[in-house]
Structure 1
């Protein structure tokens, strides 16, 4: 489904800055973000934060900051052990995490992504802040970790699926881009696709996998290579550089092509298993709309393109003029 299975409504400008220190790793790990509030914020272009997540099946819009993924791991504190049940949310460690980030708005955003990934559509988690009395409601969508959602400790398979889901929703540029998320849910069934989804999201993008709970890291592989004139606002998976190399997406580690490390399912609809460092992972596969692959020469200077004298995305005279000349990115 398109992570469009998760239609996420995002706001990327209201905060003006994106949380740089906030840690999904620490969300289920030990502690909160370190550093002053000044240190905890990064410019918007480094990855703004989605404020709302409204999902349907596999379709969604991404918008999670690259800083929202922590390399510290989702350890045994908080929800990792207690799950997303009422008891898990009532734990003092969860309240400490929720209060410990740069803002409660950020913590709310992270929970929207986590619950949307873990719970199936039709289920919701509601939590009332014990101090402020504010009630938060987080709807499920993909159903990737239903046992964990009911209060059990997350299994390895659930850890991997949640990690892949969070990684798939990262956006380097802090913009909202609809994506189609494909793979298997917690029952082993393929994530259902909405009517017309396959036709609407024809562009192969990437495979995402890893384990944030254990600190093994999160990885992304390219499902295609862009031409020199092409670029995409997704940023972290596809590139015209060799092996799809990306920059500015840490802690996501690019591992080259999906085909070199992953095996497809029997229907060839998505990647079913990826192996790296001797560890086998359950990945999620993403696809894009055709209009989200930009081409130098289409008459619009996109945020992924640069001025110059050439015909490539990073030196696009046709769309962005020569450097020093007047050009308005995002406009004809």
Structure 2
């Protein structure tokens, strides 16, 4: 799934393609490798950047804070949250896509979140959101509450799947809880960058950060994934270039200087500075490193 920040006014208009592969740029070999790698921690990226903004989270009844107080199931949601995900308007579309990505990050493939809503034409729209990565599979029955470790893992998972353009790109997500198989590492060898933060805003103030792996910047931009290194914008009048960040995400520089080394087998960054502009030593382990397929 892909989270995009290209259209700030149109939230979550790009459909999530959970079965899509990395596209026409690659032959079938990487997919075959991943079919061989049972349980590989790879997923799509999508159009989530606006839903994770502070303004959206503060105005939306389906806030991460509210979700953390309940089990991740339809029966456990508050009436306000249910009304929000059933809203046929823009707010409802944003809430549904945010929920879809949360379910994908938190639950396992054998777990789902199902409900229905009525669109503006009076047509019933059934929704079935299936888990993928299982970072907090027990959330289906038990609130995660003020557990900052889980909140940070879910936030990192959401951040890692943001994409400026909303295009479907298959990526590999890895960290100290979620290692990879040999087949996955072969299919996705290009380290893109790392993502971390906590957007729940309960125990600690909300924040979202990213860094880039210098060797992966070119490939990331080839695949239209700009949120680790920044989106390059060209002024049509002057030709000057600027680097823009993805919504609330703060890009803090090269992971090689922000993070404390990589796992020797899986290649993920073992931890990164929580806020390098404030402290050069306070690190976070709840970091997700993303990997991309190689150039054809």
In the superposition, the TM-score normalised over structure 2's length comes to 0.70
- Identify which of 168, 176, 196 aligns with 1:176: 168
1:41 aligns with 2:41: no
- Identify which of 186, 211, 217 aligns with 1:221: 211
Q: Which runs of 5+ in 1 are unaligned?
A: 1-7, 21-39, 293-332
Residues 76-91 of structure 1 aligned to structure 2 (within 5 Å): 77-89=65-77, 91=78
Match of 2:138 in 1: 147
- Identify which of 252, 269, 272 aligns with 2:270: 272
- The alpha carbon displacement at 1:50 in A equals 3.2
Q: Which runs of 5+ in 2 are unaligned?
A: 21-38, 233-241, 276-281
Match of 1:204 in 2: 191
The answer to which structure has the higher helix fraction is 2
Q: Deviations over 1:106-158 (max 9, x none)?
A: 43322221101000121112224499764321111111112333232342111
Q: Deviations over 1:137-196 (max 9, x none)?
A: 111111111233323234211110111111111111221112111124xxx4x3444x62
RMSD, matched Cα: 3.6
Count of aligned pairs between the two proteins: 248
User: Quick one: distance in 2 between partners of 1:97 and 1:59?
Assistant: 29
Match of 2:279 in 1: none
SS at match of 1:256: strand
1:70 aligns with 2:68: no
- The alpha carbon displacement at 1:99 in A equals 4.3
- The alpha carbon displacement at 1:238 in A equals 3.0
User: Quick one: distance in 1 between partners of 2:112 and 2:126?
Assistant: 13
Change (3 A) 1:57 1:130: farther
Q: Deviations over 1:292-315 (max 9, x none)?
A: 8xxxxxxxxxxxxxxxxxxxxxxx
User: Quick one: distance in 2 between partners of 1:258 and 1:191?
Assistant: 19
In the superposition, the TM-score normalised over structure 1's length comes to 0.63
Contact 2:194 2:210 survives alignment (8 Å): yes
Larger RCO, structures 1/2 (Cα 8 Å, 6+ apart):
2
- The alpha carbon displacement at 1:63 in A equals 1.7
